[in-house]
Structure 1
Amino acid sequence: MPTSALQVARTGLEAQDVRMRVIANNLANVQTTGFKRDRANFATLAYQDTRVAGAASSGETAYATGLNLGTGVSVQSTTQIMTQGTLDQTGNALDLALDGDGYFQVALPGGQLAYTRAGNFTRSAEGTLVTQQGYEVQPAITIPEGAGAMTISPDGTVSVQIEGQAEPAQLGQIQVASFANPAGLRALGDNFLAETAASGAVQLGAGGDAGRGRVRQGMLETSNVNVVEELVDMIECQRAYEVNSKMISAVDEMMRNANQTL
Protein backbone atom coordinates (compact mmCIF):
# COMPACT_ATOMS: atom_id res chain seq x y z
CA MET A 1 0.00 0.00 0.00
CA PRO A 2 2.68 2.63 0.89
CA THR A 3 4.53 1.92 -2.38
CA SER A 4 1.27 2.39 -4.33
CA ALA A 5 0.59 5.69 -2.54
CA LEU A 6 4.07 6.90 -3.49
CA GLN A 7 3.34 6.11 -7.14
CA VAL A 8 0.01 7.96 -7.04
CA ALA A 9 1.64 11.03 -5.44
CA ARG A 10 4.40 10.94 -8.05
CA THR A 11 1.85 11.14 -10.88
CA GLY A 12 0.27 14.10 -9.10
CA LEU A 13 3.60 15.92 -8.98
CA GLU A 14 4.22 15.30 -12.68
CA ALA A 15 0.73 16.45 -13.66
CA GLN A 16 0.97 19.66 -11.64
CA ASP A 17 4.42 20.33 -13.10
CA VAL A 18 2.93 20.14 -16.61
CA ARG A 19 0.03 22.40 -15.59
CA MET A 20 2.47 24.96 -14.18
CA ARG A 21 4.35 24.90 -17.50
CA VAL A 22 1.08 25.65 -19.35
CA ILE A 23 0.34 28.54 -16.98
CA ALA A 24 3.89 29.87 -17.37
CA ASN A 25 3.53 29.84 -21.16
CA ASN A 26 0.24 31.74 -20.90
CA LEU A 27 1.81 34.42 -18.71
CA ALA A 28 4.87 34.65 -20.95
CA ASN A 29 2.60 35.44 -23.91
CA VAL A 30 0.39 38.00 -22.17
CA GLN A 31 1.57 40.66 -24.68
CA THR A 32 1.68 38.39 -27.76
CA THR A 33 -0.60 39.59 -30.55
CA GLY A 34 -3.51 37.21 -31.17
CA PHE A 35 -2.32 34.64 -28.59
CA LYS A 36 -4.90 32.16 -27.23
CA ARG A 37 -4.36 30.82 -23.73
CA ASP A 38 -4.06 27.08 -23.12
CA ARG A 39 -5.68 24.92 -20.46
CA ALA A 40 -4.34 21.59 -19.21
CA ASN A 41 -6.88 18.75 -19.09
CA PHE A 42 -6.45 15.91 -16.60
CA ALA A 43 -7.64 12.30 -16.63
CA THR A 44 -7.48 9.49 -14.10
CA LEU A 45 -5.16 6.57 -14.72
CA ALA A 46 -6.45 2.99 -14.77
CA TYR A 47 -8.18 1.69 -11.65
CA GLN A 48 -7.31 -1.54 -9.86
CA ASP A 49 -10.50 -3.49 -9.21
CA THR A 50 -9.84 -5.31 -5.95
CA ARG A 51 -13.51 -6.11 -5.60
CA VAL A 52 -16.15 -5.59 -8.28
CA ALA A 53 -19.56 -4.28 -7.31
CA GLY A 54 -22.17 -7.00 -7.81
CA ALA A 55 -19.75 -9.85 -7.16
CA ALA A 56 -21.04 -12.58 -4.85
CA SER A 57 -20.30 -11.93 -1.18
CA SER A 58 -21.95 -15.16 -0.08
CA GLY A 59 -24.13 -17.84 -1.55
CA GLU A 60 -27.17 -15.58 -1.39
CA THR A 61 -25.85 -11.98 -1.42
CA ALA A 62 -23.69 -9.69 -3.57
CA TYR A 63 -21.49 -6.72 -2.79
CA ALA A 64 -23.41 -3.45 -3.15
CA THR A 65 -20.21 -1.49 -3.71
CA GLY A 66 -16.83 -2.32 -5.13
CA LEU A 67 -13.28 -1.70 -3.97
CA ASN A 68 -11.59 0.28 -6.72
CA LEU A 69 -8.16 1.79 -6.11
CA GLY A 70 -6.97 4.60 -8.38
CA THR A 71 -3.42 4.66 -9.69
CA GLY A 72 -3.05 8.41 -10.16
CA VAL A 73 -3.54 11.15 -12.73
CA SER A 74 -2.12 12.18 -16.08
CA VAL A 75 -2.35 15.23 -18.34
CA GLN A 76 -4.71 14.14 -21.10
CA SER A 77 -4.39 17.14 -23.41
CA THR A 78 -4.14 20.90 -23.66
CA THR A 79 -7.00 22.97 -25.03
CA GLN A 80 -6.77 26.42 -26.58
CA ILE A 81 -9.35 28.82 -25.18
CA MET A 82 -10.65 30.55 -28.29
CA THR A 83 -12.30 33.60 -26.73
CA GLN A 84 -11.44 36.79 -28.59
CA GLY A 85 -8.94 39.26 -27.19
CA THR A 86 -9.48 43.00 -27.08
CA LEU A 87 -9.14 44.86 -30.39
CA ASP A 88 -6.69 47.73 -29.90
CA GLN A 89 -6.67 50.69 -32.27
CA THR A 90 -3.18 51.24 -33.75
CA GLY A 91 -3.75 53.61 -36.66
CA ASN A 92 -1.40 51.55 -38.86
CA ALA A 93 -3.09 50.72 -42.18
CA LEU A 94 -1.26 47.37 -42.38
CA ASP A 95 -2.40 46.20 -38.93
CA LEU A 96 -5.39 43.89 -39.25
CA ALA A 97 -7.60 42.09 -36.75
CA LEU A 98 -10.42 39.60 -37.09
CA ASP A 99 -13.57 40.59 -35.26
CA GLY A 100 -14.99 37.10 -34.81
CA ASP A 101 -13.90 33.58 -35.72
CA GLY A 102 -11.29 32.66 -38.30
CA TYR A 103 -7.62 33.02 -39.20
CA PHE A 104 -5.39 34.76 -41.70
CA GLN A 105 -3.67 32.36 -44.12
CA VAL A 106 0.11 32.57 -44.59
CA ALA A 107 2.56 30.70 -46.87
CA LEU A 108 5.59 29.38 -44.96
CA PRO A 109 8.92 28.52 -46.62
CA GLY A 110 8.55 25.31 -48.58
CA GLY A 111 4.96 26.03 -49.53
CA GLN A 112 3.31 24.91 -46.29
CA LEU A 113 0.23 26.91 -45.31
CA ALA A 114 -0.15 28.20 -41.77
CA TYR A 115 -2.86 30.16 -39.99
CA THR A 116 -2.66 32.99 -37.50
CA ARG A 117 -4.72 35.54 -35.59
CA ALA A 118 -1.79 37.95 -35.48
CA GLY A 119 -2.41 40.60 -38.12
CA ASN A 120 0.63 42.83 -37.53
CA PHE A 121 1.57 42.71 -41.22
CA THR A 122 4.04 44.80 -43.15
CA ARG A 123 5.16 45.40 -46.73
CA SER A 124 8.10 43.63 -48.35
CA ALA A 125 10.64 45.26 -50.69
CA GLU A 126 8.54 43.96 -53.61
CA GLY A 127 5.38 45.53 -52.17
CA THR A 128 3.84 42.22 -51.05
CA LEU A 129 1.83 42.04 -47.84
CA VAL A 130 3.86 39.84 -45.45
CA THR A 131 4.15 38.88 -41.79
CA GLN A 132 6.88 40.16 -39.50
CA GLN A 133 8.93 37.08 -40.49
CA GLY A 134 8.55 37.93 -44.20
CA TYR A 135 6.00 35.21 -45.03
CA GLU A 136 3.40 36.11 -47.67
CA VAL A 137 -0.22 36.53 -46.69
CA GLN A 138 -2.44 34.35 -48.89
CA PRO A 139 -3.91 35.09 -51.37
CA ALA A 140 -0.92 37.28 -52.19
CA ILE A 141 -1.56 41.04 -52.16
CA THR A 142 0.97 43.26 -53.94
CA ILE A 143 0.80 47.00 -53.34
CA PRO A 144 2.14 48.94 -56.35
CA GLU A 145 4.89 51.49 -55.85
CA GLY A 146 3.59 55.01 -55.43
CA ALA A 147 0.14 53.84 -54.35
CA GLY A 148 -1.80 56.20 -52.13
CA ALA A 149 -3.99 55.43 -49.15
CA MET A 150 -4.87 51.76 -48.75
CA THR A 151 -8.29 50.65 -47.57
CA ILE A 152 -9.26 47.17 -46.44
CA SER A 153 -12.98 46.58 -46.14
CA PRO A 154 -14.56 44.26 -43.53
CA ASP A 155 -14.90 41.50 -46.15
CA GLY A 156 -11.13 41.65 -46.83
CA THR A 157 -11.17 43.56 -50.14
CA VAL A 158 -7.97 45.60 -50.51
CA SER A 159 -8.15 48.89 -52.43
CA VAL A 160 -5.60 51.64 -53.04
CA GLN A 161 -5.77 55.08 -54.55
CA ILE A 162 -3.67 55.30 -57.74
CA GLU A 163 -2.50 58.70 -58.89
CA GLY A 164 -4.46 59.85 -61.91
CA GLN A 165 -7.38 57.49 -61.28
CA ALA A 166 -10.67 58.75 -59.88
CA GLU A 167 -11.75 55.43 -58.40
CA PRO A 168 -9.67 53.27 -56.02
CA ALA A 169 -8.11 50.20 -57.63
CA GLN A 170 -8.86 46.80 -56.09
CA LEU A 171 -5.73 44.72 -55.48
CA GLY A 172 -7.42 41.54 -54.28
CA GLN A 173 -9.13 40.11 -51.27
CA ILE A 174 -7.73 38.76 -47.99
CA GLN A 175 -9.64 35.57 -47.33
CA VAL A 176 -10.50 34.33 -43.85
CA ALA A 177 -9.83 30.67 -43.03
CA SER A 178 -12.16 28.65 -40.82
CA PHE A 179 -12.15 25.09 -39.48
CA ALA A 180 -14.77 22.69 -38.18
CA ASN A 181 -12.65 22.11 -35.05
CA PRO A 182 -10.21 24.99 -34.42
CA ALA A 183 -9.07 23.30 -31.18
CA GLY A 184 -7.54 20.55 -33.36
CA LEU A 185 -5.03 22.90 -35.01
CA ARG A 186 -1.35 22.22 -34.24
CA ALA A 187 0.74 25.05 -32.82
CA LEU A 188 3.95 25.69 -34.78
CA GLY A 189 5.34 28.66 -32.87
CA ASP A 190 5.74 32.23 -34.14
CA ASN A 191 1.96 32.66 -33.72
CA PHE A 192 1.28 30.08 -36.46
CA LEU A 193 -1.05 27.08 -36.46
CA ALA A 194 -1.20 24.17 -38.91
CA GLU A 195 -4.10 22.12 -40.20
CA THR A 196 -4.48 18.56 -38.87
CA ALA A 197 -6.85 15.66 -39.43
CA ALA A 198 -8.59 16.63 -36.18
CA SER A 199 -9.15 20.26 -37.23
CA GLY A 200 -10.76 19.32 -40.54
CA ALA A 201 -9.97 20.83 -43.91
CA VAL A 202 -9.61 24.59 -44.21
CA GLN A 203 -12.60 26.53 -45.55
CA LEU A 204 -11.83 29.92 -47.10
CA GLY A 205 -14.24 32.79 -47.54
CA ALA A 206 -14.77 36.52 -47.26
CA GLY A 207 -14.78 38.22 -43.90
CA GLY A 208 -18.24 38.19 -42.36
CA ASP A 209 -19.37 35.30 -44.57
CA ALA A 210 -20.77 32.12 -42.98
CA GLY A 211 -19.83 33.11 -39.45
CA ARG A 212 -16.28 34.25 -40.25
CA GLY A 213 -14.91 37.30 -38.49
CA ARG A 214 -14.83 40.65 -40.20
CA VAL A 215 -11.50 42.23 -41.05
CA ARG A 216 -10.78 45.38 -39.02
CA GLN A 217 -8.10 47.66 -40.47
CA GLY A 218 -5.83 49.64 -38.16
CA MET A 219 -6.43 47.29 -35.23
CA LEU A 220 -4.65 44.38 -33.54
CA GLU A 221 -6.11 41.65 -31.36
CA THR A 222 -4.44 41.38 -27.98
CA SER A 223 -3.77 38.14 -26.10
CA ASN A 224 -6.81 36.70 -24.32
CA VAL A 225 -4.71 35.86 -21.23
CA ASN A 226 -6.20 37.26 -18.02
CA VAL A 227 -3.26 37.82 -15.67
CA VAL A 228 -5.39 37.65 -12.51
CA GLU A 229 -6.94 34.32 -13.51
CA GLU A 230 -3.54 32.87 -14.39
CA LEU A 231 -2.07 33.97 -11.04
CA VAL A 232 -4.97 32.33 -9.20
CA ASP A 233 -4.43 29.14 -11.22
CA MET A 234 -0.71 29.33 -10.44
CA ILE A 235 -1.35 29.53 -6.68
CA GLU A 236 -3.83 26.64 -6.90
CA CYS A 237 -1.31 24.57 -8.86
CA GLN A 238 1.43 25.37 -6.35
CA ARG A 239 -0.76 24.25 -3.44
CA ALA A 240 -1.66 21.02 -5.24
CA TYR A 241 2.03 20.34 -5.83
CA GLU A 242 2.79 20.96 -2.15
CA VAL A 243 0.02 18.55 -1.07
CA ASN A 244 1.43 15.80 -3.28
CA SER A 245 4.90 16.48 -1.89
CA LYS A 246 3.54 16.16 1.66
CA MET A 247 1.89 12.88 0.67
CA ILE A 248 5.28 11.47 -0.33
CA SER A 249 6.77 12.65 2.98
CA ALA A 250 3.90 11.11 4.93
CA VAL A 251 4.18 7.75 3.15
CA ASP A 252 7.94 7.78 3.66
CA GLU A 253 7.40 8.35 7.41
CA MET A 254 4.87 5.48 7.54
CA MET A 255 7.35 3.14 5.86
CA ARG A 256 10.12 4.24 8.25
CA ASN A 257 7.92 3.56 11.29
CA ALA A 258 6.91 0.17 9.90
CA ASN A 259 10.54 -0.81 9.33
CA GLN A 260 11.55 0.28 12.83
CA THR A 261 8.60 -1.53 14.44
CA LEU A 262 9.06 -4.76 12.52
Structure 2
Amino acid sequence: MRALYTAATGMSAQEKNVEVISNNVANMRTNGFKRQTVHFQDLLYDHHRRSGSPTSDQNTQVPAGLFFGSGTKVVATPRIMSQGNVTQTERTYDLAIRGEGFLRVQLPDGRTAYTRDGGFETDSQGRITTKEGYVVDPGITIPPNATSVSISQTGQVSALLPGDTVPQQIGQLTMSRFINKVGLESIGDNLFLETAGSGQAIDGTPGSEGFGNIQQGYLEESNVNAVTEIAAMIQAQRAYELNSKIIQGADQMLQATSGMFRG
Protein backbone atom coordinates (compact mmCIF):
# COMPACT_ATOMS: atom_id res chain seq x y z
CA MET A 1 0.00 0.00 0.00
CA ARG A 2 1.41 3.36 -1.13
CA ALA A 3 0.41 5.13 2.11
CA LEU A 4 2.91 3.08 4.11
CA TYR A 5 5.87 4.28 2.07
CA THR A 6 4.56 7.84 1.76
CA ALA A 7 4.12 8.22 5.52
CA ALA A 8 7.55 6.63 6.08
CA THR A 9 9.17 9.43 4.05
CA GLY A 10 7.37 11.93 6.28
CA MET A 11 8.72 10.29 9.42
CA SER A 12 12.25 10.19 8.00
CA ALA A 13 12.06 13.87 7.03
CA GLN A 14 10.90 14.85 10.52
CA GLU A 15 13.73 12.86 12.08
CA LYS A 16 16.18 15.01 10.11
CA ASN A 17 14.20 18.10 11.14
CA VAL A 18 14.63 17.18 14.80
CA GLU A 19 18.37 16.62 14.25
CA VAL A 20 18.70 20.19 12.95
CA ILE A 21 16.64 21.59 15.84
CA SER A 22 18.72 19.68 18.39
CA ASN A 23 21.93 21.08 16.88
CA ASN A 24 20.50 24.60 17.10
CA VAL A 25 19.60 24.13 20.76
CA ALA A 26 22.98 22.55 21.55
CA ASN A 27 24.68 25.67 20.17
CA MET A 28 22.59 28.28 21.98
CA ARG A 29 25.72 29.39 23.86
CA THR A 30 28.13 29.12 20.91
CA ASN A 31 29.51 32.52 19.96
CA GLY A 32 28.77 33.54 16.38
CA PHE A 33 26.62 30.46 15.71
CA LYS A 34 23.92 30.83 13.05
CA ARG A 35 20.83 28.67 13.40
CA GLN A 36 19.73 26.32 10.64
CA THR A 37 16.28 25.70 9.27
CA VAL A 38 14.94 22.82 7.17
CA HIS A 39 13.46 23.03 3.69
CA PHE A 40 11.25 20.22 2.40
CA GLN A 41 10.12 19.23 -1.10
CA ASP A 42 7.47 16.81 -2.27
CA LEU A 43 8.57 13.69 -4.15
CA LEU A 44 7.51 12.44 -7.59
CA TYR A 45 3.84 11.99 -8.49
CA ASP A 46 2.16 9.02 -10.13
CA HIS A 47 -0.14 10.54 -12.79
CA HIS A 48 -3.22 8.46 -13.64
CA ARG A 49 -4.97 11.18 -15.60
CA ARG A 50 -3.49 14.56 -16.42
CA SER A 51 -5.32 17.87 -16.21
CA GLY A 52 -6.68 18.89 -19.60
CA SER A 53 -6.91 15.35 -20.93
CA PRO A 54 -9.76 14.90 -23.49
CA THR A 55 -12.81 13.04 -22.21
CA SER A 56 -14.92 12.85 -25.40
CA ASP A 57 -14.95 13.49 -29.12
CA GLN A 58 -16.54 16.89 -28.41
CA ASN A 59 -13.26 18.26 -27.00
CA THR A 60 -14.35 18.21 -23.38
CA GLN A 61 -11.41 18.13 -21.00
CA VAL A 62 -10.67 17.00 -17.48
CA PRO A 63 -10.57 20.12 -15.27
CA ALA A 64 -8.48 18.45 -12.57
CA GLY A 65 -6.02 15.61 -12.89
CA LEU A 66 -5.76 12.35 -10.97
CA PHE A 67 -2.33 11.87 -9.40
CA PHE A 68 -0.84 10.60 -6.17
CA GLY A 69 2.27 11.86 -4.43
CA SER A 70 4.97 9.66 -2.96
CA GLY A 71 5.95 11.70 0.09
CA THR A 72 8.51 14.32 1.07
CA LYS A 73 12.25 14.82 1.43
CA VAL A 74 14.68 17.27 3.04
CA VAL A 75 16.46 19.26 0.32
CA ALA A 76 18.36 21.95 2.24
CA THR A 77 19.32 23.09 5.73
CA PRO A 78 20.26 26.74 5.15
CA ARG A 79 21.58 28.92 7.94
CA ILE A 80 19.76 32.04 9.10
CA MET A 81 22.54 34.62 9.00
CA SER A 82 20.82 37.27 11.09
CA GLN A 83 22.76 39.29 13.66
CA GLY A 84 23.08 37.77 17.12
CA ASN A 85 23.01 39.81 20.32
CA VAL A 86 26.28 41.56 21.16
CA THR A 87 27.39 41.28 24.78
CA GLN A 88 30.24 42.99 26.60
CA THR A 89 33.12 40.88 27.89
CA GLU A 90 35.80 43.56 28.52
CA ARG A 91 38.46 41.17 27.18
CA THR A 92 41.05 42.84 24.93
CA TYR A 93 40.95 40.31 22.11
CA ASP A 94 37.20 39.67 22.06
CA LEU A 95 35.83 41.20 18.87
CA ALA A 96 32.21 41.36 17.77
CA ILE A 97 31.14 42.16 14.23
CA ARG A 98 28.16 44.48 14.09
CA GLY A 99 26.79 44.19 10.58
CA GLU A 100 27.88 42.27 7.50
CA GLY A 101 31.10 40.36 7.06
CA PHE A 102 33.40 37.66 8.42
CA LEU A 103 36.89 37.75 9.88
CA ARG A 104 39.43 35.63 8.02
CA VAL A 105 41.36 32.76 9.60
CA GLN A 106 44.38 30.93 8.18
CA LEU A 107 44.09 27.15 8.52
CA PRO A 108 47.20 24.95 8.96
CA ASP A 109 46.71 23.46 5.46
CA GLY A 110 46.86 26.90 3.85
CA ARG A 111 43.14 27.36 3.27
CA THR A 112 41.31 30.49 4.38
CA ALA A 113 38.31 30.06 6.65
CA TYR A 114 35.80 32.65 7.81
CA THR A 115 34.22 33.23 11.20
CA ARG A 116 31.85 35.44 13.15
CA ASP A 117 33.28 34.21 16.46
CA GLY A 118 35.70 36.90 17.58
CA GLY A 119 36.78 35.24 20.79
CA PHE A 120 40.50 35.51 20.06
CA GLU A 121 43.68 34.95 22.05
CA THR A 122 47.41 35.47 21.49
CA ASP A 123 49.86 32.59 21.08
CA SER A 124 53.45 32.24 22.34
CA GLN A 125 54.66 34.41 19.45
CA GLY A 126 52.18 37.19 20.19
CA ARG A 127 50.02 36.46 17.12
CA ILE A 128 46.25 36.94 17.35
CA THR A 129 44.65 33.51 16.99
CA THR A 130 41.39 31.64 17.44
CA LYS A 131 40.92 29.42 20.49
CA GLU A 132 42.07 26.50 18.33
CA GLY A 133 45.34 28.33 17.59
CA TYR A 134 44.54 29.30 14.00
CA VAL A 135 46.12 32.61 13.04
CA VAL A 136 43.73 35.47 12.25
CA ASP A 137 44.47 36.74 8.73
CA PRO A 138 46.34 38.98 8.14
CA GLY A 139 48.75 37.85 10.80
CA ILE A 140 49.19 40.55 13.45
CA THR A 141 51.84 40.14 16.15
CA ILE A 142 51.48 42.00 19.43
CA PRO A 143 54.80 43.32 20.77
CA PRO A 144 55.74 41.48 23.97
CA ASN A 145 56.34 44.76 25.82
CA ALA A 146 53.03 46.35 24.85
CA THR A 147 51.26 47.80 27.86
CA SER A 148 47.86 47.99 26.16
CA VAL A 149 46.26 47.06 22.85
CA SER A 150 43.32 48.79 21.21
CA ILE A 151 41.33 47.77 18.13
CA SER A 152 39.21 50.43 16.46
CA GLN A 153 35.84 49.98 14.82
CA THR A 154 37.60 50.10 11.45
CA GLY A 155 39.97 47.27 12.42
CA GLN A 156 43.13 49.26 13.16
CA VAL A 157 45.20 47.46 15.79
CA SER A 158 47.35 49.76 17.94
CA ALA A 159 49.69 49.07 20.84
CA LEU A 160 51.02 51.37 23.52
CA LEU A 161 54.71 50.70 24.13
CA PRO A 162 56.80 51.69 27.16
CA GLY A 163 57.99 55.29 26.96
CA ASP A 164 55.37 56.24 24.35
CA THR A 165 52.39 58.45 25.00
CA VAL A 166 50.64 57.71 21.71
CA PRO A 167 49.73 54.14 20.60
CA GLN A 168 51.46 52.86 17.48
CA GLN A 169 49.48 51.14 14.73
CA ILE A 170 50.80 47.59 14.33
CA GLY A 171 48.25 46.07 11.96
CA GLN A 172 44.95 46.30 10.12
CA LEU A 173 42.21 43.70 10.36
CA THR A 174 40.29 43.00 7.18
CA MET A 175 36.92 41.35 6.56
CA SER A 176 35.20 39.38 3.83
CA ARG A 177 31.61 39.12 2.70
CA PHE A 178 29.81 36.95 0.17
CA ILE A 179 27.06 37.39 -2.38
CA ASN A 180 25.41 34.23 -1.03
CA LYS A 181 26.63 33.74 2.53
CA VAL A 182 24.07 30.95 3.04
CA GLY A 183 26.18 28.94 0.59
CA LEU A 184 29.20 28.83 2.91
CA GLU A 185 30.29 25.39 4.14
CA SER A 186 30.39 24.81 7.90
CA ILE A 187 33.47 22.85 9.03
CA GLY A 188 33.12 23.14 12.81
CA ASP A 189 35.14 25.26 15.24
CA ASN A 190 32.81 28.18 14.30
CA LEU A 191 34.45 28.30 10.85
CA PHE A 192 33.10 28.46 7.30
CA LEU A 193 34.69 27.77 3.93
CA GLU A 194 34.04 29.45 0.60
CA THR A 195 32.16 27.30 -1.94
CA ALA A 196 30.96 27.62 -5.51
CA GLY A 197 27.52 28.33 -4.06
CA SER A 198 28.70 31.20 -1.85
CA GLY A 199 30.70 32.89 -4.58
CA GLN A 200 34.18 34.31 -4.11
CA ALA A 201 34.99 36.36 -1.04
CA ILE A 202 34.71 40.14 -1.36
CA ASP A 203 37.41 41.64 0.83
CA GLY A 204 37.36 45.01 2.51
CA THR A 205 38.02 46.87 5.74
CA PRO A 206 35.61 47.07 8.67
CA GLY A 207 33.29 50.06 8.48
CA SER A 208 33.66 50.51 4.73
CA GLU A 209 30.65 50.31 2.41
CA GLY A 210 28.92 46.94 2.69
CA PHE A 211 30.91 45.86 5.77
CA GLY A 212 30.07 45.97 9.45
CA ASN A 213 32.31 47.44 12.12
CA ILE A 214 34.26 45.84 14.94
CA GLN A 215 33.46 46.19 18.62
CA GLN A 216 36.44 45.48 20.90
CA GLY A 217 35.61 43.85 24.22
CA TYR A 218 32.36 42.36 22.92
CA LEU A 219 31.21 39.03 21.46
CA GLU A 220 28.32 38.16 19.17
CA GLU A 221 26.08 35.50 20.68
CA SER A 222 24.29 32.71 18.85
CA ASN A 223 21.12 33.82 17.05
CA VAL A 224 19.22 30.75 18.28
CA ASN A 225 15.91 31.64 19.93
CA ALA A 226 14.75 29.07 22.49
CA VAL A 227 11.03 29.77 21.99
CA THR A 228 11.33 29.42 18.22
CA GLU A 229 13.14 26.10 18.56
CA ILE A 230 10.59 24.76 21.07
CA ALA A 231 7.75 25.64 18.69
CA ALA A 232 9.58 23.96 15.79
CA MET A 233 10.15 20.86 17.93
CA ILE A 234 6.46 20.60 18.80
CA GLN A 235 5.52 20.92 15.11
CA ALA A 236 8.04 18.23 14.17
CA GLN A 237 6.74 15.90 16.90
CA ARG A 238 3.14 16.32 15.78
CA ALA A 239 4.03 15.75 12.13
CA TYR A 240 5.95 12.60 13.09
CA GLU A 241 3.02 11.32 15.17
CA LEU A 242 0.53 11.96 12.36
CA ASN A 243 2.68 10.06 9.88
CA SER A 244 3.01 7.17 12.33
CA LYS A 245 -0.81 7.15 12.73
CA ILE A 246 -1.17 6.90 8.96
CA ILE A 247 1.15 3.88 8.94
CA GLN A 248 -0.93 2.29 11.71
CA GLY A 249 -4.14 3.02 9.80
CA ALA A 250 -2.75 1.61 6.56
CA ASP A 251 -1.57 -1.48 8.43
CA GLN A 252 -5.07 -2.02 9.88
CA MET A 253 -6.57 -1.73 6.41
CA LEU A 254 -4.12 -4.33 5.10
CA GLN A 255 -4.96 -6.61 8.01
CA ALA A 256 -8.67 -6.27 7.19
CA THR A 257 -8.00 -7.10 3.55
CA SER A 258 -5.86 -10.13 4.36
CA GLY A 259 -8.53 -11.26 6.85
CA MET A 260 -11.09 -11.28 4.07
CA PHE A 261 -8.91 -13.65 2.06
CA ARG A 262 -8.36 -15.91 5.07
CA GLY A 263 -12.08 -15.97 5.66
Same fold (TM over 0.5): yes
Is 1:8–2:6 an aligned residue pair?
yes
- Where does structure 1 lack aligned partners over 5 or more consecutive residues? none
Residue aligning to 1:84? 83
Residue aligning to 1:151? 150
Residue aligning to 2:30? 32
Residue aligning to 2:218? 219
Distance 2:161 2:180 in 1: 41
Distance 2:93 2:166 in 1: 21
Give CA-to-partner distance per residue, 1:189-246, whole Å, 9 cap, x none.
1110000001011111111112211010000000000011101110110111010001
Residue aligning to 2:21? 23
Give CA-to-partner distance per residue, 1:148-182, whole Å, 9 cap, x none.
21111111010011112232111111101101100
Is 1:115–2:119 an aligned residue pair?
no
Report deviation, 1:44. 0.6
Paired residues for 1:64-83 under 5 Å: 64-83=63-82
How many corresponding residue pairs?
A: 260
Paired residues for 1:122-133 under 5 Å: 122-133=121-132
Report deviation, 1:53. 0.6
Deviates more, 1:164-173 or 1:21-30: 164-173
Percent identity, please.
43
Q: SS where residue 229 of structure 1 aligns?
A: helix
Distance 2:253 2:175 in 1: 61
Instruction: State the one-letter code of the partner of 2:10.
Output: G
Distance 1:140 1:192 in 2: 17
Q: SS where residue 78 of structure 2 aligns?
A: strand
Instruction: State the one-letter code of the partner of 1:206.
Output: T
TM-score by length of structure 2 reads 0.97
CA RMSD of aligned residues (A): 0.7
Instruction: State the one-letter code of the partner of 1:52.
Output: R
Is 1:50–2:52 an aligned residue pair?
no
Deviates more, 1:54-63 or 1:128-137: 54-63
Is 1:104–2:103 an aligned residue pair?
yes
Residue aligning to 1:230? 229
Instruction: State the one-letter code of the partner of 2:50.
Output: V
Paired residues for 1:140-219 under 5 Å: 140-219=139-218
